[in-house]
A and B are shown apart, each in its own frame.
Chain A
Amino acid sequence: MIYQFAQANLVWLIPGLPLLGFLFHAFLGKRMGKSVVGGIATAVVFASFAISVYVLMGLMSHPEELRRAQVSLLPGSDLTPWIEIGAFKVNYGALIDPLSMLMCLIITGVGGLIHLYAVGYMAQDKDFSRFFTYLNLFIFFMLTLVLGDNLLLMFVGWEGVGLCSYLLISFWFEDTENSKAGNKAFIVNRIGDVGFALGVMAVFATFGTLTYHTPQGSGFLDLAAKGIAPAIATAIGLLLFVGACGKSAQFPLHVWLPDAMAGPTPVSALIHAATMVTAGVVMITRVSPIIVQSPIAMTVIAVVGLFTAVFAATIALTQNDIKKVLAYSTVSQLGFMFLGCGVGAFSAGMFHVTTHAFFKALLFLGAGSVIHALSGEQDMRKMGGLAKRIPITYWTMVIGWLAICGVPPFAGFWSKDEILGLASGAPSWGVVYYVVGLATAVMTAFYMTRLMYKTFWTKQRFVEAGHDAHGHGDHADTEPDAGHGHGHGVHESPPKMWIPLAVLAVLSAIGGLIGTPWANKFEHFLEPSIAKHEAHHLFAPNIGLLIGVFAAAAGILLGRALYSKKMETGELLTAEEKAKNPLYQGSANLWYIDGWAYRTFVIWGGGFATAVWQWIDKILIDGMVNAVAAVIGFTSELFRRVQTGYIRAYAMSMLVGVVLVVAGLLLGSLGKH
């Protein structure tokens, strides 16, 4: 299986170059001009991309069964041990296989484009070099996460990207709201990290090693492939999945992701859409040989993924902040990916990771361009009519919209269809997975259409910044992005920003064609990295495709039907109508409203979505996070009182300790003999 090849000697450069970029910015960044900093930061990531392509070509030139190599992550060809204690050894090693190379391409490719975009987006920021310092460091840790040949290196990357995410969310730290968001992200992620750490411990306790694969077949995945007890597979799978839930924002650990939108928009695109949040999917896919041996873990993953998908899509229906819509959409799409993993369609899940990286990065960057054009405005109620004002952004957003809605032949269509198709054939619950998944797809198409209407197609609802003072200073307190834009009239973004949009638009348009059901090159490509698992469709692929088209069309047409009549305001309901809805406000009589059939849907549906967000997200889960913090704080305060400062009290408690220890020892021995 394991094969050494010439190109692999360059692997160390893939994470090495961003690390060099980080060191350069950290030590010299402040003294350099913005063009040098931005240029170097972007160049190192693109150089990593070029090397990744080169290495991948080397890998692909070998027959399929040899496409896996364990090489050093340090310069020089021999594997260097990182930790060596007794028989236990982990290396600074990289596992080069289709999965890790795919992720390298996404991270460096999409990451490079986002770096380029950020050079334009952050041009006015006073902490320009600090921003790129963190961004390069993030790329380094992310590459470590996917490239490492053992779980411990993955853990290093895992914590590292979490730290960078924390620093970048809080980047505009003058804003307390952002700081709180950064804090929350960190706390929630710790819960996931404990799960991951315990999962690593369980792997170690079971197999005695943390290396995935070795040439001798002694890696834990090699051993697991020979068969392990289902109970052990379940324990490891579930613990690691808790970790994945934290990083990949699955219910109920998803609460941090929408809050994380407080960070600069390129950060949202890079970390909170394209790369870091997919780390959980990558990890579950990586350990797929263990996961497939536990039906329980598989079911849990599928159900949590599916629930998250539909839950987050529901919330996305009524959000008004353009980035929040995209954030909940990301949570929802991640749920789809886990659904794929849970039914054994790991390569379909990874396919969706890939296409999602294209179109969601595109949508976020497009949203950033809109926010940029409006000098920091994020509220869609204050947008509208932008289609003609910022045409490049608009047209690229249209492609992103078609891709996420699942319109053929755009990228999202193929990957979503693949997941749904394979979910339908799951041994139990297959039909439920399929129907709920399909409903989620309809909702997705609807809320994205809503976003397009509110932003681009309805009448302009904002006041030009040039005409009065509105738009910049007024929102400085409330809008996270305010004060970081240019502060003059609506304008198209500079080339540095729209070129990445255009490239991502092309990828979103045609990127899915590598994985059509008739010739699934993508699945074939990933085969060497993934455990064999029987997953099949309930019905012929072509019928699935057709249903998928209908679902997308249904969502889009529903959006069109509702919003084309509200071109003036972009609001489906007036304030009074909302006032009548029990779920919005408390009481209503639906029958007063004309056109009751779809109005019922709108009022109840919208009210339901708002209620889900208000009650479950804001009150229940946030409340739980806060309650845990409060209980810890309270207990801490309580026990601080014991620390009275009186020496004699301390001596007394020592004596109590003495009595307990000695009595415990004596009684313990009585009990035994």
Chain B
Amino acid sequence: MPDKSVIIGDMQAILPMIVLWVTASVIALGDVSLWKRGNKAINPLLAIVGVLVAFKFLVNTPRVASGATAFAKSLAIDPLGQISGIALLVTAVLSILLAWTYLKNRGLDHAEYYVLLLLSLTGAMMMASANDLIVLFLGLEILSFGLYVMAGFARTEERSEEASVKYFLLGAFGSAFLLYGIALVYGATQSTNLEQIRATLSSSSGAPGPMLLAGIGLLIVGLGFKAAIVPFHQWTPDVYEGAPTAATAYMAGAAKIGAFAAMLRVFGALTPVAASWLPAIQILAIVTMVFGNLLAVTQTNVKRLLAYSSIAHAGYLLVAIAALPSETVNGIASNAPDLAVGGALFYLFAYVFMTLGAFGVLVYLSSKGRDVQHVNDLRGLAKREPAAAYAMMFFMLSLGGIPPTMGFMGKWQIFYAAVTGQQIMLAIVMALTSAMAVYYYLRVVWVMCFEETTEAAAPEPVARTGAMAAIMLAAAATIVFGIAPNLLNAITGMGP
């Protein structure tokens, strides 16, 4: 693990988060006092401006290749945190564009949505750069509180409320395990600082004690819940289905990025005792890949299908986590950990573009009386809405890992990390399950292109510029970064 001896200014380190928090406050206060809930367009616009300013500050933060820390080493200012921060901000921009269309068309256009989104984004960013388990817990909770409420944002709809309460109770349950795990790890190492934990673990020679092992197990559970890893995944399809589609999109992106950024850092720090936790991660990865894909096969609701697909993708990302401790292979220093981090980050970007794009198409098609989510709602879309249909086709091909899309490139990078890190078995399972996955993704393409619409009337004309912009952005990214992956690395400063 890099030596993060450089310390940068505390305020500078959290400036992007401060900007997001201030923007959220401005929207909340402005909405009740200045534009008095009258001007609906100003909220998403302000939110986007806030995210872009935060982006500016984030990329302006000094880049220290080996990483720096702030707030008494509790925040890491390193490429992992910064790049996953960029991914989070991209998620936010796309989600705000989608929400703009969705909330308006479904009569839910309230400023609070954007406030919640920005605040939970702050939590996700904190989680992504947390260098301390308690900060991680804090970030996770801030992220989650926003998501719980956003899931229930359609207050008149039963399924939205059901999604909200399910997510909340199970999420809080998962956090309780995480916190207990943190406490046990603290007891075993007398620290919650990840660098300190790593140092302690490296220097101790004996076998890890039961307290540490139980603590690590509970960390896996707590983070695995957020990342939707089997068997901690059961909330995912229900919540994805019930939540307003725009919120589902944001949740799918932000929670996944936050959870995996945290996992990369936590399990990186736990490398010295990898022998004890690696088998668990390997088994969870296999189970998650198999069950996520298997259960997606028979789904007829696109949101549920994407939920299981997101579980399957969590499995692929776990493969990268499993390659993380391979610091030496056959006694020779290996770059597998760097490749795993780079591959996982690239994959997260790919995941954001293709998943939010796919949800975006659903948002684009939804109107007040009609929330599009069944696969049959997409029948004949290629004729009715060619632009949306072809974008959806790109997203599905990308999710299925067909070249030359970003999804393929992401899979290849994780593959590469796995082979370098000697996780051959996982790479093989990944190849097999990805092949199975194409079947259900292609069914969506199928329905759009090769089945006739059953609908009599065209949907009422609605304002959908925001959603279209998000779809086109995501589709362009899916293709461009698939063809030129180095471009993304150049933009984000990514790559080992």
Within 8 A of A (CB), among B166-189: 166, 169-170, 173-174, 177
Residue contact B397 to A204, C-beta cutoff 8 Å:
no
Q: Is B375 an interface residue (CB 8 A)?
A: no
Q: Is A296 an interface residue (CB 8 A)?
A: no
Q: Is A540 an interface residue (CB 8 A)?
A: no
Shortest CB-to-CB span from B346 to chain A, Å, is: 9
Report the separation of the CA atoms of residues A345 and B486 in the bound assembly, to the nearest whole angstrom.
Answer: 41
* Cβ–Cβ < 8 Å partners of A656 in chain B: 231
Report the separation of the CA atoms of residues A127 and B224 in the bound assembly, to the nearest whole angstrom.
Answer: 49
* Cβ–Cβ < 8 Å partners of B210 in chain A: 666, 669
Chain A contact residues, majority secondary structure: helix
| Interface bits B449-493 vs A (CB < 8 Å: 1, else 0) | 111100000000000000000000000000000011110000000
* Cβ–Cβ < 8 Å partners of B442 in chain A: 166, 183, 186
Stretch of A81-89, A314-322, A459-467 with 4 or more beta carbons under 8 angstroms from chain B: A81-89
Residue in A82, A186, A201 whose CB lies within 8 Å of B419 = A201
* Cβ–Cβ < 8 Å partners of B165 in chain A: 647
Report the separation of the CA atoms of residues A191 and B439 in the bound assembly, to the nearest whole angstrom.
Answer: 12
* Cβ–Cβ < 8 Å partners of A640 in chain B: 295, 298
Residue contact B449 to A173, C-beta cutoff 8 Å:
yes
Residue contact B295 to A83, C-beta cutoff 8 Å:
no
Stretch of A99-107, A482-490, A514-522, A630-638 with 4 or more beta carbons under 8 angstroms from chain B: A630-638
Residue contact A204 to B403, C-beta cutoff 8 Å:
no
* Cβ–Cβ < 8 Å partners of B343 in chain A: 85
Q: Which chain B residue shows the least CB distance to A629?
A: B439
Given the contacts A190-B439, A650-B170, A159 and B495 also touching, CB distance less than 8 Å: no
Report the separation of the CA atoms of residues A170 and B447 in the bound assembly, to the nearest whole angstrom.
Answer: 12
Residue contact B213 to A636, C-beta cutoff 8 Å:
no
Q: A-side interface residues toward B, CB under 8 Å? A: 81-88, 152, 155-156, 159-160, 163, 166-167, 170, 173-174, 179, 182-183, 186-187, 190-191, 193-194, 197-198, 201, 204-205, 632-633, 635-637, 639-640, 642-643, 645, 647, 649-651, 653-654, 656-658, 660-662, 664-666, 668-669, 672-673
Shortest CB-to-CB span from A443 to chain B, Å, is: 35
Report the separation of the CA atoms of residues A480 and B413 in the bound assembly, to the nearest whole angstrom.
Answer: 43
Shortest CB-to-CB span from A267 to chain B, Å, is: 16
- What 11 new A-B contacts, CB under 8 Å, besides A160-B403, A647-B165? A85-B343, A85-B495, A88-B416, A179-B450, A191-B435, A194-B432, A205-B419, A640-B298, A662-B217, A662-B218, A664-B217
Q: Which chain A residue shows the least CB distance to B424?
A: A205
Shortest CB-to-CB span from B348 to chain A, Å, is: 16
Q: For A81, A668, A669, which residue has the most chain B Cβ atoms within 10 angstroms? A: A669
Report the separation of the CA atoms of residues A183 and B439 in the bound assembly, to the nearest whole angstrom.
Answer: 9
Report the separation of the CA atoms of residues A498 and B389 in the bound assembly, to the nearest whole angstrom.
Answer: 38
Q: Which chain A residue shows the least CB distance to B338?
A: A86
Residue contact A654 to B208, C-beta cutoff 8 Å:
no
Q: Is B436 an interface residue (CB 8 A)?
A: yes
Residue contact B231 to A664, C-beta cutoff 8 Å:
no
Report the separation of the CA atoms of residues A656 and B232 in the bound assembly, to the nearest whole angstrom.
Answer: 10
6 contacts between A and B (CB under 8 A): A85-B496, A88-B416, A183-B446, A194-B435, A201-B415, A666-B217
Given the contacts A170-B450, A668-B276, A673-B207, A661 and B220 also touching, CB distance less than 8 Å: yes
Q: Is B214 an interface residue (CB 8 A)?
A: yes
Residue in B276, B296, B435, B438 whose CB lies within 8 Å of A669 = B276
Residue in A179, A183, A193, A645 whose CB lies within 8 Å of B435 = A193
Shortest CB-to-CB span from A565 to chain B, Å, is: 47
Residue contact B450 to A669, C-beta cutoff 8 Å:
no
Report the separation of the CA atoms of residues A291 and B210 in the bound assembly, to the nearest whole angstrom.
Answer: 51
Stretch of B30-38, B77-85, B233-241 with 4 or more beta carbons under 8 angstroms from chain A: B233-241
Interface size on B, residues (CB 8 A): 75
Q: Which chain A residue shows the least CB distance to B390?
A: A26
* Cβ–Cβ < 8 Å partners of A179 in chain B: 446, 450
* Cβ–Cβ < 8 Å partners of B53 in chain A: none
Shortest CB-to-CB span from B211 to chain A, Å, is: 10
Residue in A166, A191, A633 whose CB lies within 8 Å of B297 = A633
Report the separation of the CA atoms of residues A165 and B296 in the bound assembly, to the nearest whole angstrom.
Answer: 25
* Cβ–Cβ < 8 Å partners of A632 in chain B: 294, 297, 436
| Interface bits B424-446 vs A (CB < 8 Å: 1, else 0) | 10011001100110110010001
Report the separation of the CA atoms of residues A639 and B237 in the bound assembly, to the nearest whole angstrom.
Answer: 13
Q: Is B363 an interface residue (CB 8 A)?
A: no
Shortest CB-to-CB span from A150 to chain B, Å, is: 12
Report the separation of the CA atoms of residues A83 and B402 in the bound assembly, to the nearest whole angstrom.
Answer: 16
Report the separation of the CA atoms of residues A672 and B277 in the bound assembly, to the nearest whole angstrom.
Answer: 13
Shortest CB-to-CB span from B144 to chain A, Å, is: 15
Q: Which chain A residue shows the least CB distance to B342?
A: A85
Q: Is B154 an interface residue (CB 8 A)?
A: no
Residue contact A654 to B294, C-beta cutoff 8 Å:
no
Residue contact A156 to B234, C-beta cutoff 8 Å:
no
Report the separation of the CA atoms of residues A649 and B342 in the bound assembly, to the nearest whole angstrom.
Answer: 37
Report the separation of the CA atoms of residues A193 and B411 in the bound assembly, to the nearest whole angstrom.
Answer: 15
* Cβ–Cβ < 8 Å partners of B431 in chain A: 194, 197-198, 201
Residue in B218, B277, B484 whose CB lies within 8 Å of A658 = B218
* Cβ–Cβ < 8 Å partners of A155 in chain B: 403
Residue contact B217 to A647, C-beta cutoff 8 Å:
no
Q: Is B280 an interface residue (CB 8 A)?
A: yes
The 5 A-B pairs of least Cβ separation, nearest first, read: A662-B217, A657-B231, A173-B450, A156-B403, A650-B234
* Cβ–Cβ < 8 Å partners of A198 in chain B: 428, 431
* Cβ–Cβ < 8 Å partners of A647 in chain B: 165-166, 169-170
Residue contact B416 to A636, C-beta cutoff 8 Å:
no
Residue contact A664 to B218, C-beta cutoff 8 Å:
no
Q: Which chain A residue shows the least CB distance to B346?
A: A85
Report the separation of the CA atoms of residues A654 and B171 in the bound assembly, to the nearest whole angstrom.
Answer: 11
* Cβ–Cβ < 8 Å partners of A633 in chain B: 297-298
Q: Which chain A residue shows the least CB distance to B214?
A: A662
Report the separation of the CA atoms of residues A90 and B280 in the bound assembly, to the nearest whole angstrom.
Answer: 34
Report the separation of the CA atoms of residues A661 and B217 in the bound assembly, to the nearest whole angstrom.
Answer: 6
Q: Is B45 an interface residue (CB 8 A)?
A: no
